[in-house]
């Protein structure tokens, strides 16, 4: 037992805690923006559902642009400079949402999303600098666990604040998270890369493990983006839920996500396809049940259960990704993976905004189960092509 507490192991443990704290801080601030802006747009600025969808789309779209076209093109040293600078700028922009109106809110959303695009891919890649495969995979799961923790604790804090303050004032209370993120950003490690042009052309899109990770994550990113943009609006429009309860709703959703990831951190998935099947079945059933929900309590229970696949899917995708690339390739693979998720997430708020405007909230949730069913078939096909990824 005492052998475990060597200087080397202590250093790894401290670094993992640093990564988790950093992840918690930046994701809490980001989630505040993503979940509060639709409510402000709808109930304070009188945006219609199409405008709300476009606003959510440009937020993730600008994130994808930074991740794919800027961050992915830089060497490790320059990415570190960009990472720290982005944390500083993002932390300054976040409280400025307090001053947002129907015009400048577009500026704040676009630029905060843009600079956030260099944050999460580099934190994921930093977790990949740990040499031991088992420790690295556990760290990736702990990373996703800290994401979930921020998404539970953040809304709970927001819910309490909203008992006494309005949606705009929320942004001022989250300034300390930005300060923590700035301080810790200087301690984040970046992976060493071979500059001997082995950075040549790593064609990540032809890698079967990459395809599987993408299909797997899209299967939940699609309904998750819908819930993030219109889940709170659904609760308020259909059941007249107060703002403070909407945050409780999100906390319940992310609470079950947290428990799912906590379980994976304790007992990592051996057969990834089993976790995937469970996740997608819950997702399909949950989306259909939202259509039939007839009370706020029923809706709350359904949304909470939809947190389970949210908790299982992302760590499963990251594990599949880490098993498919070498250490000097994983940084690029992570960047393209994250960028692709962002670009695909642009479509969901845009399409869902148009659908809500055309056919209403309930039918939109129901019809979103269709692409998930199609992705389920594609994922099973990919698992059949690369059975070794389960080991």
Q: Give the model's pLDDT for residue 253.
A: 93
pLDDT digits (tens, 9 = 90+) for 165-192: 999 999 999 999 999 999 999 988 887 6
pLDDT digits (tens, 9 = 90+) for 360-383: 999 999 999 999 999 888 888 877
Kind and range of the H or E element at 362? helix 361-367
Q: What CATH number labels 12-188+204-390? A: 1.20.1250.20
Cα(311)–Cα(383) distance, rounded to whole angstroms? 20
pLDDT digits (tens, 9 = 90+) for 347-364: 888 889 999 999 999 999
- Range of weakest confidence among 4-18, 78-92, 287-301: 4-18
Please determine, for residue 196, whether its predicted confidence score (pLDDT) is greater than 50.
no
Model-wide pTM > 0.85: no
φ, ψ of residue 118 to 5 degrees: the values are -100, 0
Selected residue with higher pLDDT from 188 and 3? 188
pLDDT digits (tens, 9 = 90+) for 278-303: 999 999 999 999 999 999 999 999 99
Mean pLDDT, rounded, for 202-231: 83
Cα(302)–Cα(286) distance, rounded to whole angstroms? 6
Closest CA to 63 of 42, 38, 81, 86: 86
Q: Give the model's pLDDT for residue 345.
A: 73
The tally of CA atoms less than 13 A away on the side-chain side of residue 70 is 20
Please determine, for residue 8, whether its predicted confidence score (pLDDT) is greater than 60.
no
Q: Which residues contact 65 (CB under 8 A, 6 or more apart)?
A: 114, 117
What's the burial of 303, exposed, middle or buried (CB within 10 Å: 0-12/13-18/19+)? buried
Q: Give the model's pLDDT for residue 40.
A: 96
pLDDT digits (tens, 9 = 90+) for 234-251: 999 999 999 999 999 999
Buried b (16+ CB within 10 A) or exposed e, 24-60: bbbbbbbbbbbbbbbbbbbeebebebbbbbbbbbbbb
DSSP state of 67: I
All structural domains of the chain with their residue ranges: 12-188+204-390
Cα(31)–Cα(151) distance, rounded to whole angstroms? 7
Q: Give the model's pLDDT for residue 16.
A: 87
- Range of weakest confidence among 125-134, 157-166, 195-204: 195-204
Q: Give the model's pLDDT for residue 189.
A: 82
Mean pLDDT, rounded, for 152-173: 95
Please determine, for residue 1, whether its predicted confidence score (pLDDT) is greater than 60.
no
Selected residue with higher pLDDT from 201 and 127? 127
Selected residue with higher pLDDT from 296 and 214? 296
Per-residue confidence at 116, pLDDT binned at 50, 70, 90? Answer: very high
108 Cα distance to chain centroid: 19
What's the burial of 370, exposed, middle or buried (CB within 10 Å: 0-12/13-18/19+)? exposed
Cα(37)–Cα(56) distance, rounded to whole angstroms? 8
Q: Which residues contact 269 (CB under 8 A, 6 or more apart)?
A: 275, 315, 316, 319
């Amino acid at each position: 037992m005492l052998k475990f507490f060597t200087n080397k192991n202590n250093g790894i443990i401290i670094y993992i805690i640093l990564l988790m704290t950093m992840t918690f801080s930046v994701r809490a601030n980001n989630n505040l923006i993503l979940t509060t802006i639709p409510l402000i747009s709808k109930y304070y600025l009188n945006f219609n559902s199409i405008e709300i969808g476009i606003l959510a789309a440009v937020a993730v779209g600008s994130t994808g642009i930074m991740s794919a076209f800027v961050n992915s093109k830089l060497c490790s040293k320059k990415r570190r400079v960009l990472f720290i600078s982005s944390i500083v700028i993002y932390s300054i922009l976040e409280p400025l949402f307090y001053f947002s109106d129907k015009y400048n809110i577009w500026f704040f959303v676009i630029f905060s999303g843009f600079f956030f695009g260099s944050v999460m891919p580099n934190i994921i890649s930093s977790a990949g600098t740990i040499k031991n495969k088992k420790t690295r995979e556990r760290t990736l799961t702990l990373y996703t666990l800290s994401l979930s923790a921020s998404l539970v604790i953040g809304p709970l804090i927001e819910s309490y604040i909203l008992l006494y303050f309005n949606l705009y004032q929320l942004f001022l209370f989250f300034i300390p998270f930005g300060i923590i993120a700035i301080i810790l950003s200087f301690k984040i490690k970046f992976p060493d890369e071979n500059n001997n042009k082995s950075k040549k052309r790593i064609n990540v899109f032809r890698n079967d493990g990459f395809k599987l990770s993408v299909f797997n994550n899209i299967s939940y990113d699609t309904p998750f983006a819908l819930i993030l943009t219109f889940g709170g609006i659904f609760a308020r429009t259909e059941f007249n839920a107060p703002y403070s309860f909407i945050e409780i709703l999100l906390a319940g959703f992310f609470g079950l996500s947290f428990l799912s990831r906590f379980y994976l951190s304790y007992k990592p998935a051996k057969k990834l396809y089993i976790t995937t099947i469970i996740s997608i079945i819950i997702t399909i059933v949950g989306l259909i049940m939202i259509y039939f929900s007839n009370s706020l309590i029923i809706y709350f229970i359904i949304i909470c259960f939809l947190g389970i696949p949210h908790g299982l899917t992302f760590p499963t995708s990251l594990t599949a990704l880490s098993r498919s690339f070498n250490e000097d390739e994983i940084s690029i693979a992570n960047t393209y993976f994250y960028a692709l998720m962002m670009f695909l997430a642009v479509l969901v708020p845009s399409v869902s905004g148009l659908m809500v405007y055309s056919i209403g909230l309930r039918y939109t949730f129901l019809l979103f189960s269709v692409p998930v069913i199609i992705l389920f078939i594609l994922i099973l096909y990919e698992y059949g092509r690369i059975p070794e990824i389960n080991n």
